[in-house]
Structure 1
Protein backbone atom coordinates (compact mmCIF):
# COMPACT_ATOMS: atom_id res chain seq x y z
CA UNK A 1 0.00 0.00 0.00
CA UNK A 2 2.86 2.40 0.82
CA UNK A 3 4.37 1.91 -2.64
CA UNK A 4 0.96 2.40 -4.26
CA UNK A 5 0.48 5.72 -2.48
CA UNK A 6 3.96 6.85 -3.50
CA UNK A 7 3.22 6.02 -7.11
CA UNK A 8 -0.07 7.91 -6.89
CA UNK A 9 1.67 11.06 -5.60
CA UNK A 10 2.41 12.55 -9.07
CA UNK A 11 -1.30 12.43 -9.92
CA UNK A 12 -2.10 14.29 -6.71
CA UNK A 13 0.54 16.90 -7.53
CA UNK A 14 -0.95 17.34 -11.00
CA UNK A 15 -4.22 18.25 -9.36
CA UNK A 16 -2.59 21.18 -7.58
CA UNK A 17 -0.14 22.34 -10.20
CA UNK A 18 -2.60 25.14 -11.02
CA UNK A 19 -3.30 27.46 -8.07
CA UNK A 20 -6.78 27.30 -6.61
CA UNK A 21 -8.62 29.57 -4.22
CA UNK A 22 -10.12 26.54 -2.52
CA UNK A 23 -8.33 24.84 0.34
CA UNK A 24 -7.26 21.22 -0.14
CA UNK A 25 -9.39 20.32 2.87
CA UNK A 26 -12.56 21.33 1.03
CA UNK A 27 -11.53 20.11 -2.41
CA UNK A 28 -13.48 17.20 -3.96
CA UNK A 29 -10.28 16.01 -5.67
CA UNK A 30 -8.81 15.03 -2.32
CA UNK A 31 -12.10 13.45 -1.23
CA UNK A 32 -12.19 11.33 -4.37
CA UNK A 33 -8.55 10.25 -4.14
CA UNK A 34 -8.72 9.38 -0.45
CA UNK A 35 -11.95 7.45 -0.96
CA UNK A 36 -10.41 5.19 -3.61
CA UNK A 37 -10.04 1.51 -2.90
CA UNK A 38 -6.47 0.91 -4.06
CA UNK A 39 -7.11 -2.71 -4.92
CA UNK A 40 -3.85 -3.39 -6.73
CA UNK A 41 -4.42 -5.14 -10.03
CA UNK A 42 -5.36 -8.65 -11.13
CA UNK A 43 -2.48 -11.05 -11.88
CA UNK A 44 -1.70 -12.02 -15.46
CA UNK A 45 -3.53 -15.28 -16.15
CA UNK A 46 -2.26 -16.71 -19.42
CA UNK A 47 -4.77 -19.56 -19.29
CA UNK A 48 -7.69 -17.10 -19.37
CA UNK A 49 -10.26 -17.67 -22.12
CA UNK A 50 -13.01 -15.11 -22.62
CA UNK A 51 -16.41 -15.67 -24.18
CA UNK A 52 -17.09 -11.94 -23.83
CA UNK A 53 -14.13 -10.51 -25.75
CA UNK A 54 -11.84 -12.88 -27.68
CA UNK A 55 -8.76 -10.63 -27.73
CA UNK A 56 -6.63 -10.27 -24.61
CA UNK A 57 -6.58 -6.66 -23.41
CA UNK A 58 -3.23 -5.19 -22.38
CA UNK A 59 -3.50 -2.15 -20.09
CA UNK A 60 -0.60 0.33 -20.08
CA UNK A 61 -0.02 2.61 -17.10
CA UNK A 62 0.87 6.31 -17.08
CA UNK A 63 4.05 8.24 -16.34
CA UNK A 64 5.49 7.66 -12.84
CA UNK A 65 2.96 4.94 -12.08
CA UNK A 66 2.52 1.18 -12.25
CA UNK A 67 -0.34 -1.26 -12.97
CA UNK A 68 -1.29 -1.34 -9.30
CA UNK A 69 -2.32 2.33 -9.16
CA UNK A 70 -3.19 3.35 -12.72
CA UNK A 71 -5.95 1.69 -14.76
CA UNK A 72 -6.05 -0.92 -11.98
CA UNK A 73 -9.70 -0.27 -11.16
CA UNK A 74 -10.63 -0.47 -14.83
CA UNK A 75 -8.67 -3.71 -15.13
CA UNK A 76 -10.49 -5.11 -12.12
CA UNK A 77 -13.81 -4.11 -13.67
CA UNK A 78 -12.84 -5.74 -16.96
CA UNK A 79 -11.95 -8.98 -15.21
CA UNK A 80 -15.31 -8.95 -13.45
CA UNK A 81 -17.00 -8.53 -16.83
CA UNK A 82 -15.18 -11.54 -18.29
CA UNK A 83 -12.30 -9.92 -20.16
CA UNK A 84 -8.81 -11.44 -20.14
CA UNK A 85 -6.55 -8.60 -19.03
CA UNK A 86 -2.80 -8.15 -18.72
CA UNK A 87 -0.42 -5.46 -17.53
CA UNK A 88 3.27 -4.80 -16.96
CA UNK A 89 5.51 -2.17 -15.36
CA UNK A 90 7.68 -0.71 -18.11
CA UNK A 91 10.35 1.98 -17.88
CA UNK A 92 10.94 1.50 -14.15
CA UNK A 93 13.05 4.05 -12.28
CA UNK A 94 16.44 2.59 -11.30
CA UNK A 95 16.25 3.68 -7.67
CA UNK A 96 12.50 3.12 -7.29
CA UNK A 97 11.58 0.10 -9.43
CA UNK A 98 7.92 0.28 -8.42
CA UNK A 99 7.63 3.60 -10.30
CA UNK A 100 7.34 2.94 -14.02
CA UNK A 101 7.22 5.00 -17.18
CA UNK A 102 10.32 7.02 -16.29
CA UNK A 103 13.15 5.86 -18.54
CA UNK A 104 13.87 6.80 -22.16
CA UNK A 105 10.84 5.78 -24.17
CA UNK A 106 12.76 4.53 -27.19
CA UNK A 107 14.16 1.92 -24.81
CA UNK A 108 11.08 1.29 -22.67
CA UNK A 109 8.88 0.82 -25.74
CA UNK A 110 10.97 -2.20 -26.68
CA UNK A 111 10.61 -3.62 -23.17
CA UNK A 112 6.87 -3.02 -23.34
CA UNK A 113 6.67 -4.49 -26.84
CA UNK A 114 8.29 -7.69 -25.61
CA UNK A 115 5.72 -7.87 -22.80
CA UNK A 116 2.87 -7.44 -25.30
CA UNK A 117 4.29 -10.10 -27.61
CA UNK A 118 4.80 -12.39 -24.61
CA UNK A 119 1.07 -12.22 -23.84
CA UNK A 120 0.22 -13.05 -27.44
CA UNK A 121 2.63 -15.99 -27.42
CA UNK A 122 1.55 -17.40 -24.05
CA UNK A 123 -2.19 -17.05 -24.67
CA UNK A 124 -2.07 -18.25 -28.26
CA UNK A 125 -4.11 -15.23 -29.35
CA UNK A 126 -4.07 -14.02 -32.93
CA UNK A 127 -4.70 -10.40 -31.97
CA UNK A 128 -4.46 -8.20 -28.88
CA UNK A 129 -6.05 -4.90 -27.85
CA UNK A 130 -4.19 -2.10 -26.06
CA UNK A 131 -5.65 0.39 -23.56
CA UNK A 132 -3.36 3.07 -22.15
CA UNK A 133 -3.55 6.22 -20.04
CA UNK A 134 -1.35 9.31 -20.46
CA UNK A 135 2.14 7.98 -21.33
CA UNK A 136 0.47 4.60 -21.59
CA UNK A 137 -1.89 6.10 -24.16
CA UNK A 138 1.14 7.32 -26.09
CA UNK A 139 2.53 3.78 -25.96
CA UNK A 140 -0.63 2.32 -27.55
CA UNK A 141 0.36 4.25 -30.67
CA UNK A 142 4.14 4.28 -30.24
CA UNK A 143 4.68 0.53 -29.78
CA UNK A 144 3.02 -0.40 -33.11
CA UNK A 145 4.87 2.49 -34.79
CA UNK A 146 8.27 1.36 -33.50
CA UNK A 147 7.85 -2.41 -33.62
CA UNK A 148 6.45 -4.14 -36.73
CA UNK A 149 5.81 -7.35 -34.76
CA UNK A 150 3.54 -5.45 -32.38
CA UNK A 151 1.81 -3.71 -35.28
CA UNK A 152 1.04 -7.11 -36.79
CA UNK A 153 -0.83 -8.37 -33.70
CA UNK A 154 -2.58 -5.25 -32.41
CA UNK A 155 -6.22 -4.91 -33.46
CA UNK A 156 -7.68 -2.10 -31.33
CA UNK A 157 -5.99 0.69 -29.42
CA UNK A 158 -7.65 2.97 -26.89
CA UNK A 159 -5.57 5.93 -25.70
CA UNK A 160 -6.69 8.14 -22.81
CA UNK A 161 -5.21 11.64 -22.99
CA UNK A 162 -2.01 10.79 -24.90
CA UNK A 163 0.60 13.52 -25.44
CA UNK A 164 1.17 12.86 -29.13
CA UNK A 165 2.03 16.37 -30.31
CA UNK A 166 4.24 17.57 -27.48
CA UNK A 167 3.32 17.62 -23.79
CA UNK A 168 3.18 21.20 -22.51
CA UNK A 169 3.12 20.44 -18.75
CA UNK A 170 0.85 23.40 -17.96
CA UNK A 171 2.94 25.62 -20.25
CA UNK A 172 6.26 24.89 -18.54
CA UNK A 173 7.79 23.58 -21.76
CA UNK A 174 7.73 27.12 -23.15
CA UNK A 175 10.57 27.83 -20.73
CA UNK A 176 12.62 25.10 -22.43
CA UNK A 177 13.21 27.49 -25.34
CA UNK A 178 13.72 30.73 -23.44
CA UNK A 179 17.32 30.76 -24.70
CA UNK A 180 16.82 28.69 -27.83
CA UNK A 181 18.44 25.30 -28.25
CA UNK A 182 20.86 25.93 -25.38
CA UNK A 183 18.11 26.12 -22.76
CA UNK A 184 16.33 23.18 -24.42
CA UNK A 185 19.45 21.06 -23.99
CA UNK A 186 19.77 22.17 -20.37
CA UNK A 187 16.12 21.27 -19.70
CA UNK A 188 16.68 17.82 -21.15
CA UNK A 189 19.74 17.35 -18.97
CA UNK A 190 17.86 18.36 -15.83
CA UNK A 191 14.99 15.95 -16.54
CA UNK A 192 17.42 13.15 -17.29
CA UNK A 193 19.30 13.88 -14.06
CA UNK A 194 16.03 13.68 -12.14
CA UNK A 195 15.47 10.25 -13.65
CA UNK A 196 12.55 11.20 -15.90
CA UNK A 197 13.84 10.86 -19.43
CA UNK A 198 10.28 10.09 -20.51
CA UNK A 199 9.21 13.56 -19.34
CA UNK A 200 11.54 15.07 -21.91
CA UNK A 201 10.70 12.50 -24.60
CA UNK A 202 7.05 13.57 -24.72
CA UNK A 203 7.71 17.31 -24.53
CA UNK A 204 8.00 19.47 -27.64
CA UNK A 205 11.36 18.68 -29.20
CA UNK A 206 11.72 15.40 -27.30
CA UNK A 207 12.55 12.05 -28.88
CA UNK A 208 9.00 10.67 -29.02
CA UNK A 209 7.60 14.01 -30.16
CA UNK A 210 10.10 13.97 -33.04
CA UNK A 211 9.26 10.36 -33.94
CA UNK A 212 5.54 11.17 -34.10
CA UNK A 213 6.25 14.36 -36.05
CA UNK A 214 8.28 12.46 -38.63
CA UNK A 215 5.53 9.86 -38.98
CA UNK A 216 2.87 12.55 -39.27
CA UNK A 217 4.86 14.36 -41.95
CA UNK A 218 5.00 11.15 -44.00
CA UNK A 219 1.22 10.65 -43.87
CA UNK A 220 -0.25 10.49 -47.38
CA UNK A 221 -3.90 9.87 -46.57
CA UNK A 222 -3.70 6.09 -46.22
CA UNK A 223 -3.56 4.18 -42.96
CA UNK A 224 -0.05 2.92 -42.32
CA UNK A 225 1.73 5.89 -43.87
CA UNK A 226 1.69 8.03 -40.72
CA UNK A 227 1.38 7.55 -36.97
CA UNK A 228 -1.34 4.90 -37.18
CA UNK A 229 -0.27 1.50 -38.45
CA UNK A 230 -2.25 -0.42 -41.05
CA UNK A 231 -4.92 -2.75 -39.70
CA UNK A 232 -5.33 -1.11 -36.29
CA UNK A 233 -8.56 0.45 -35.04
CA UNK A 234 -7.54 3.40 -32.85
CA UNK A 235 -9.69 5.42 -30.46
CA UNK A 236 -8.36 8.47 -28.62
CA UNK A 237 -10.42 9.59 -25.61
CA UNK A 238 -9.93 13.14 -24.32
CA UNK A 239 -11.46 15.64 -21.92
CA UNK A 240 -12.00 19.33 -22.55
CA UNK A 241 -11.06 19.82 -18.88
CA UNK A 242 -7.63 18.23 -19.30
CA UNK A 243 -5.19 21.05 -18.59
CA UNK A 244 -2.07 18.85 -18.55
CA UNK A 245 -2.51 17.35 -22.02
CA UNK A 246 -4.87 19.50 -24.05
CA UNK A 247 -7.17 18.06 -26.70
CA UNK A 248 -5.09 19.48 -29.56
CA UNK A 249 -2.03 17.64 -28.21
CA UNK A 250 -3.85 14.29 -28.20
CA UNK A 251 -5.84 14.29 -31.45
CA UNK A 252 -4.56 12.35 -34.44
CA UNK A 253 -6.22 13.31 -37.70
CA UNK A 254 -5.55 10.24 -39.81
CA UNK A 255 -7.71 7.67 -41.57
CA UNK A 256 -9.63 5.41 -39.21
CA UNK A 257 -8.88 7.31 -36.00
CA UNK A 258 -11.78 8.03 -33.66
CA UNK A 259 -11.10 11.19 -31.65
CA UNK A 260 -13.64 11.12 -28.83
CA UNK A 261 -14.42 13.85 -26.29
CA UNK A 262 -15.85 12.71 -22.96
CA UNK A 263 -18.04 15.81 -22.86
CA UNK A 264 -19.75 14.92 -26.15
CA UNK A 265 -21.43 12.08 -24.24
CA UNK A 266 -21.29 13.51 -20.72
CA UNK A 267 -21.24 17.32 -20.92
CA UNK A 268 -21.28 17.77 -17.13
CA UNK A 269 -18.32 15.50 -16.43
CA UNK A 270 -15.40 17.66 -15.15
CA UNK A 271 -12.81 14.89 -15.47
CA UNK A 272 -9.21 16.03 -15.89
CA UNK A 273 -6.07 14.24 -17.04
CA UNK A 274 -5.32 11.93 -14.11
CA UNK A 275 -9.03 11.30 -13.56
CA UNK A 276 -9.42 9.69 -16.99
CA UNK A 277 -8.17 6.42 -15.50
CA UNK A 278 -10.96 6.18 -12.91
CA UNK A 279 -13.99 7.80 -14.54
CA UNK A 280 -17.05 5.69 -15.34
CA UNK A 281 -17.81 7.93 -18.33
CA UNK A 282 -14.41 7.05 -19.76
CA UNK A 283 -14.78 3.38 -18.91
CA UNK A 284 -18.01 3.22 -20.91
CA UNK A 285 -16.26 4.80 -23.89
CA UNK A 286 -13.40 2.31 -23.54
CA UNK A 287 -15.78 -0.64 -23.55
CA UNK A 288 -17.65 0.76 -26.54
CA UNK A 289 -14.36 1.12 -28.42
CA UNK A 290 -13.23 -2.41 -27.59
CA UNK A 291 -16.58 -3.84 -28.69
CA UNK A 292 -16.78 -1.48 -31.68
CA UNK A 293 -20.18 -0.47 -30.34
CA UNK A 294 -19.39 3.15 -31.01
CA UNK A 295 -22.92 4.42 -30.42
CA UNK A 296 -23.37 2.31 -27.31
CA UNK A 297 -24.70 3.64 -23.99
CA UNK A 298 -22.42 5.71 -21.76
CA UNK A 299 -22.70 5.66 -17.98
CA UNK A 300 -21.90 9.27 -17.17
CA UNK A 301 -19.92 9.92 -14.02
CA UNK A 302 -18.30 12.83 -12.25
CA UNK A 303 -14.60 12.26 -12.77
CA UNK A 304 -11.79 13.74 -10.72
CA UNK A 305 -11.10 17.24 -12.15
CA UNK A 306 -7.35 16.72 -12.15
Structure 2
Protein backbone atom coordinates (compact mmCIF):
# COMPACT_ATOMS: atom_id res chain seq x y z
CA UNK A 1 0.00 0.00 0.00
CA UNK A 2 2.92 2.35 0.68
CA UNK A 3 4.27 1.85 -2.82
CA UNK A 4 0.97 2.55 -4.55
CA UNK A 5 0.44 5.72 -2.52
CA UNK A 6 3.86 7.02 -3.48
CA UNK A 7 3.15 6.12 -7.11
CA UNK A 8 0.10 8.37 -7.00
CA UNK A 9 1.72 11.26 -5.16
CA UNK A 10 4.88 11.50 -7.23
CA UNK A 11 2.85 11.41 -10.43
CA UNK A 12 0.70 14.26 -9.17
CA UNK A 13 3.66 16.53 -8.44
CA UNK A 14 5.90 15.62 -11.36
CA UNK A 15 4.44 18.30 -13.62
CA UNK A 16 5.14 20.94 -10.96
CA UNK A 17 8.75 20.00 -10.43
CA UNK A 18 12.08 21.18 -11.77
CA UNK A 19 15.31 19.79 -10.38
CA UNK A 20 17.90 22.48 -9.70
CA UNK A 21 20.89 20.86 -8.01
CA UNK A 22 23.99 22.57 -9.45
CA UNK A 23 26.73 20.91 -7.39
CA UNK A 24 29.71 20.37 -9.64
CA UNK A 25 28.39 22.00 -12.80
CA UNK A 26 31.26 24.45 -13.01
CA UNK A 27 29.07 27.41 -13.99
CA UNK A 28 27.87 30.52 -12.19
CA UNK A 29 24.93 30.00 -9.86
CA UNK A 30 21.92 32.24 -9.30
CA UNK A 31 21.01 33.41 -5.83
CA UNK A 32 19.33 30.80 -3.67
CA UNK A 33 15.58 30.52 -4.15
CA UNK A 34 13.51 31.26 -1.07
CA UNK A 35 10.37 29.65 -2.53
CA UNK A 36 9.56 26.50 -0.60
CA UNK A 37 8.65 23.31 -2.51
CA UNK A 38 4.87 22.95 -2.73
CA UNK A 39 3.33 22.05 0.62
CA UNK A 40 6.55 22.20 2.63
CA UNK A 41 7.40 24.59 5.47
CA UNK A 42 3.82 24.56 6.71
CA UNK A 43 4.35 25.80 10.25
CA UNK A 44 0.82 24.86 11.28
CA UNK A 45 1.45 21.15 10.60
CA UNK A 46 1.46 18.96 13.71
CA UNK A 47 3.06 15.60 14.37
CA UNK A 48 0.60 12.71 14.76
CA UNK A 49 0.60 9.03 15.60
CA UNK A 50 0.80 7.98 11.95
CA UNK A 51 3.70 10.35 11.20
CA UNK A 52 5.35 11.28 14.50
CA UNK A 53 8.61 12.53 12.98
CA UNK A 54 8.60 15.65 10.77
CA UNK A 55 10.92 15.44 7.77
CA UNK A 56 13.74 17.98 7.40
CA UNK A 57 15.22 18.12 3.88
CA UNK A 58 18.81 19.33 3.44
CA UNK A 59 20.18 20.32 0.02
CA UNK A 60 23.73 19.96 -1.29
CA UNK A 61 26.63 22.21 -2.24
CA UNK A 62 25.84 25.21 -4.47
CA UNK A 63 22.16 24.31 -4.13
CA UNK A 64 19.01 25.43 -2.37
CA UNK A 65 15.68 23.99 -1.25
CA UNK A 66 14.36 23.72 -4.83
CA UNK A 67 16.23 20.43 -5.18
CA UNK A 68 13.23 19.01 -3.26
CA UNK A 69 10.57 20.28 -5.69
CA UNK A 70 9.61 16.67 -6.53
CA UNK A 71 10.27 14.71 -3.35
CA UNK A 72 9.03 17.34 -0.91
CA UNK A 73 5.43 17.48 -2.25
CA UNK A 74 5.37 13.69 -2.58
CA UNK A 75 6.15 13.32 1.13
CA UNK A 76 3.63 16.02 2.05
CA UNK A 77 0.94 14.20 0.07
CA UNK A 78 1.87 11.00 1.89
CA UNK A 79 0.97 12.71 5.18
CA UNK A 80 4.28 13.99 6.54
CA UNK A 81 5.06 17.44 7.93
CA UNK A 82 7.95 18.40 5.63
CA UNK A 83 10.43 21.24 6.01
CA UNK A 84 13.29 22.46 3.83
CA UNK A 85 15.96 25.04 4.57
CA UNK A 86 18.65 27.01 2.80
CA UNK A 87 21.93 27.18 4.69
CA UNK A 88 25.60 28.06 4.59
CA UNK A 89 25.65 30.49 1.63
CA UNK A 90 24.31 27.76 -0.66
CA UNK A 91 26.26 25.18 1.34
CA UNK A 92 29.68 26.67 0.60
CA UNK A 93 30.41 27.64 4.23
CA UNK A 94 32.21 25.37 6.67
CA UNK A 95 30.09 22.34 7.49
CA UNK A 96 30.65 23.17 11.17
CA UNK A 97 28.86 26.49 10.66
CA UNK A 98 26.15 24.88 8.53
CA UNK A 99 25.54 22.19 11.16
CA UNK A 100 24.85 24.94 13.66
CA UNK A 101 22.24 26.40 11.32
CA UNK A 102 20.68 22.96 10.93
CA UNK A 103 20.52 22.59 14.71
CA UNK A 104 18.61 25.86 15.01
CA UNK A 105 16.23 24.83 12.22
CA UNK A 106 15.53 21.39 13.73
CA UNK A 107 14.76 22.96 17.09
CA UNK A 108 12.29 25.30 15.36
CA UNK A 109 10.59 22.36 13.62
CA UNK A 110 10.32 20.40 16.87
CA UNK A 111 8.85 23.37 18.74
CA UNK A 112 6.34 24.05 15.95
CA UNK A 113 5.15 20.48 15.37
CA UNK A 114 5.24 19.20 18.94
CA UNK A 115 7.44 16.28 17.90
CA UNK A 116 10.35 14.94 19.91
CA UNK A 117 12.41 13.85 16.90
CA UNK A 118 12.73 14.62 13.19
CA UNK A 119 13.82 12.53 10.24
CA UNK A 120 16.49 14.10 8.04
CA UNK A 121 16.68 13.52 4.27
CA UNK A 122 19.82 14.97 2.73
CA UNK A 123 21.30 15.11 -0.77
CA UNK A 124 25.05 15.29 -1.45
CA UNK A 125 26.61 17.53 1.24
CA UNK A 126 23.12 17.51 2.80
CA UNK A 127 23.67 13.84 3.60
CA UNK A 128 27.11 14.43 5.09
CA UNK A 129 26.93 17.73 7.00
CA UNK A 130 24.03 16.61 9.25
CA UNK A 131 26.25 13.85 10.59
CA UNK A 132 28.37 16.56 12.26
CA UNK A 133 25.18 17.81 13.92
CA UNK A 134 24.37 14.26 15.04
CA UNK A 135 27.83 13.55 16.41
CA UNK A 136 28.91 16.87 17.88
CA UNK A 137 25.89 19.13 18.45
CA UNK A 138 23.46 16.84 20.25
CA UNK A 139 21.52 15.92 17.12
CA UNK A 140 21.55 12.17 17.73
CA UNK A 141 18.98 12.66 20.51
CA UNK A 142 16.66 14.62 18.18
CA UNK A 143 16.83 12.57 14.98
CA UNK A 144 15.01 9.31 14.26
CA UNK A 145 16.18 8.69 10.66
CA UNK A 146 19.22 9.98 8.78
CA UNK A 147 18.59 9.28 5.09
CA UNK A 148 21.37 10.28 2.72
CA UNK A 149 21.21 10.43 -1.07
CA UNK A 150 24.53 10.42 -2.96
CA UNK A 151 26.44 11.69 0.08
CA UNK A 152 30.21 12.08 0.23
CA UNK A 153 30.44 10.38 3.61
CA UNK A 154 34.01 9.30 2.96
CA UNK A 155 34.85 12.13 0.58
CA UNK A 156 35.11 12.47 -3.17
CA UNK A 157 38.19 12.04 -5.33
CA UNK A 158 36.69 14.42 -7.92
CA UNK A 159 38.88 17.51 -7.56
CA UNK A 160 36.48 19.46 -9.78
CA UNK A 161 34.23 20.09 -6.79
CA UNK A 162 36.84 22.43 -5.32
CA UNK A 163 37.14 24.56 -8.47
CA UNK A 164 36.50 28.25 -7.95
CA UNK A 165 33.22 29.38 -9.46
CA UNK A 166 31.88 32.79 -10.41
CA UNK A 167 30.07 34.14 -7.35
CA UNK A 168 31.86 31.70 -5.04
CA UNK A 169 35.50 32.75 -4.67
CA UNK A 170 35.88 30.23 -1.86
CA UNK A 171 34.05 27.10 -0.86
CA UNK A 172 35.18 25.83 2.52
CA UNK A 173 32.80 22.88 2.40
CA UNK A 174 34.28 21.73 -0.92
CA UNK A 175 37.70 21.10 0.60
CA UNK A 176 36.08 19.43 3.61
CA UNK A 177 34.31 17.01 1.25
CA UNK A 178 37.50 15.90 -0.45
CA UNK A 179 38.72 12.38 0.22
CA UNK A 180 41.30 12.42 3.00
CA UNK A 181 40.21 15.74 4.53
CA UNK A 182 40.78 16.26 8.24
CA UNK A 183 37.10 17.12 8.63
CA UNK A 184 35.97 13.72 7.34
CA UNK A 185 38.69 11.89 9.24
CA UNK A 186 37.32 13.35 12.47
CA UNK A 187 33.69 12.84 11.47
CA UNK A 188 34.22 9.15 10.68
CA UNK A 189 36.52 8.37 13.61
CA UNK A 190 35.40 5.79 16.18
CA UNK A 191 31.71 5.62 15.22
CA UNK A 192 30.26 6.49 11.79
CA UNK A 193 26.66 6.08 12.97
CA UNK A 194 26.32 7.47 16.50
CA UNK A 195 23.27 7.24 18.71
CA UNK A 196 20.07 5.28 18.14
CA UNK A 197 19.49 6.96 14.77
CA UNK A 198 18.49 4.74 11.83
CA UNK A 199 20.80 5.34 8.85
CA UNK A 200 19.77 4.74 5.23
CA UNK A 201 22.27 5.58 2.48
CA UNK A 202 21.17 5.57 -1.18
CA UNK A 203 23.76 5.84 -3.98
CA UNK A 204 23.95 5.56 -7.76
CA UNK A 205 26.71 3.90 -9.73
CA UNK A 206 26.34 6.74 -12.27
CA UNK A 207 27.54 9.36 -9.79
CA UNK A 208 30.33 11.48 -11.31
CA UNK A 209 30.43 14.08 -8.52
CA UNK A 210 30.92 11.82 -5.51
CA UNK A 211 33.61 9.39 -6.61
CA UNK A 212 33.69 6.58 -5.86
CA UNK A 213 29.93 6.37 -5.38
CA UNK A 214 30.47 3.89 -2.54
CA UNK A 215 31.68 6.85 -0.47
CA UNK A 216 28.04 7.21 0.50
CA UNK A 217 27.99 3.95 2.44
CA UNK A 218 28.29 3.87 6.23
CA UNK A 219 29.05 1.08 8.69
CA UNK A 220 26.87 0.67 11.74
CA UNK A 221 24.38 -1.59 13.54
CA UNK A 222 21.23 0.23 12.33
CA UNK A 223 22.28 0.96 8.77
CA UNK A 224 21.06 0.02 5.31
CA UNK A 225 23.19 0.83 2.24
CA UNK A 226 21.38 0.80 -1.09
CA UNK A 227 22.71 1.05 -4.63
CA UNK A 228 19.87 2.27 -6.84
CA UNK A 229 20.84 -0.07 -9.68
CA UNK A 230 20.38 -3.14 -7.45
CA UNK A 231 16.66 -2.33 -7.49
CA UNK A 232 16.48 -0.72 -10.92
CA UNK A 233 19.33 -1.90 -13.20
CA UNK A 234 18.20 0.30 -16.09
CA UNK A 235 18.06 3.47 -13.96
CA UNK A 236 20.94 5.77 -14.95
CA UNK A 237 20.17 8.61 -12.52
CA UNK A 238 23.17 10.87 -12.02
CA UNK A 239 24.21 12.69 -8.86
CA UNK A 240 21.95 15.68 -9.55
CA UNK A 241 19.01 13.57 -10.73
CA UNK A 242 18.74 11.43 -7.60
CA UNK A 243 16.40 13.62 -5.49
CA UNK A 244 13.71 13.52 -8.20
CA UNK A 245 14.17 9.90 -9.25
CA UNK A 246 10.95 7.88 -8.71
CA UNK A 247 12.68 4.84 -7.24
CA UNK A 248 14.75 6.99 -4.88
CA UNK A 249 11.60 8.73 -3.64
CA UNK A 250 10.03 5.36 -2.92
CA UNK A 251 13.18 4.16 -1.13
CA UNK A 252 13.08 7.27 1.04
CA UNK A 253 9.38 6.60 1.71
CA UNK A 254 10.20 3.06 2.81
CA UNK A 255 12.92 4.30 5.16
CA UNK A 256 10.57 6.85 6.72
CA UNK A 257 7.77 4.31 7.17
CA UNK A 258 10.01 1.58 8.62
CA UNK A 259 10.87 1.23 12.30
CA UNK A 260 14.60 1.35 11.63
CA UNK A 261 16.48 1.98 8.36
CA UNK A 262 15.05 1.09 4.97
CA UNK A 263 14.14 -2.58 4.64
CA UNK A 264 16.93 -4.43 2.85
CA UNK A 265 14.32 -6.64 1.21
CA UNK A 266 12.20 -3.74 -0.08
CA UNK A 267 12.20 -3.38 -3.85
CA UNK A 268 11.23 0.00 -5.23
CA UNK A 269 9.08 0.33 -8.31
CA UNK A 270 11.37 1.90 -10.90
CA UNK A 271 9.02 4.12 -12.92
CA UNK A 272 6.39 6.72 -12.20
What TM-score range do you get, normalising by the shorter chain? Answer: 0.7 to 0.9
Shift of the 43–261 alpha-carbon distance from structure 1 to 2, 3 Å rule, reads closer
Q: Structure 1: how far apart are the matches of 2:171 and 2:75?
A: 31
Shift of the 297–166 alpha-carbon distance from structure 1 to 2, 3 Å rule, reads closer
Task: Compute the displacement of 1:167 (Å).
Answer: 1.7
Quote the residue 1:73 is aligned against.
70
Quote the residue 1:261 is aligned against.
227
Instruction: Note the residue ranges of structure 1 that are not aligned, 5 or more in a row.
Output: 17-37, 93-99, 174-186, 219-225
Q: Give TM-score, length-normalised by structure 1.
A: 0.71
Instruction: Note the residue ranges of structure 2 that are not aligned, 5 or more in a row.
Output: 1-16, 28-34
Quote the residue 2:172 is aligned against.
197
Quote the residue 2:105 is aligned against.
115
Greater RCO structure (CA 8 Å; 6+ sep): 2
Partner of 1:109, secondary structure, is: helix
- Counterpart contact for 1:60–1:139, Cα < 8 Å: no
Shift of the 231–240 alpha-carbon distance from structure 1 to 2, 3 Å rule, reads same
Quote the residue 1:167 is aligned against.
156
Q: Structure 2: how far apart are the matches of 1:211 and 1:58?
A: 25
Q: Structure 2: how far apart are the matches of 1:59 and 1:41?
A: 13
Shift of the 203–237 alpha-carbon distance from structure 1 to 2, 3 Å rule, reads same
User: Is 1:211 aligned to residue 181 of structure 2?
Assistant: no
Q: Structure 2: how far apart are the matches of 1:143 and 1:282?
A: 24
Shift of the 39–268 alpha-carbon distance from structure 1 to 2, 3 Å rule, reads farther
Residue 10 (structure 1) aligned to one of 9, 22, 25:
22
Quote the residue 2:239 is aligned against.
273
Partner of 1:274, secondary structure, is: coil
Q: Structure 1: how far apart are the matches of 2:201 and 2:21?
A: 25
Quote the residue 1:134 is aligned against.
124
Shift of the 207–44 alpha-carbon distance from structure 1 to 2, 3 Å rule, reads farther
Task: Compute the displacement of 1:259 (Å).
Answer: 0.7
Shift of the 141–9 alpha-carbon distance from structure 1 to 2, 3 Å rule, reads closer
Quote the residue 1:156 is aligned against.
145
Task: Compute the displacement of 1:273 (Å).
Answer: 0.8
Structure 1 stretches of at least 4 aligned residues deviating more than 4 Å after TM superposition: none
Quote the residue 1:88 is aligned against.
85
- Counterpart contact for 2:99–2:130, Cα < 8 Å: no
Quote the residue 2:134 is aligned against.
144
* Residue deviations 1:90-109 (CA, integer Å, cap 9, x gap): 102xxxxxxx1111111111
Task: Compute the displacement of 1:206 (Å).
Answer: 3.2
Task: Compute the displacement of 1:72 (Å).
Answer: 2.4
Quote the residue 1:59 is aligned against.
57
Q: Structure 2: how far apart are the matches of 1:70 and 1:45?
A: 18
Task: Compute the displacement of 1:51 (Å).
Answer: 5.7
Residue 285 (structure 1) aligned to one of 234, 248, 251:
251
Q: Which has the larger radius of gyration?
A: 1
Task: Compute the displacement of 1:41 (Å).
Answer: 4.2
Q: Structure 2: how far apart are the matches of 1:160 and 1:106?
A: 20
- Counterpart contact for 2:59–2:67, Cα < 8 Å: yes
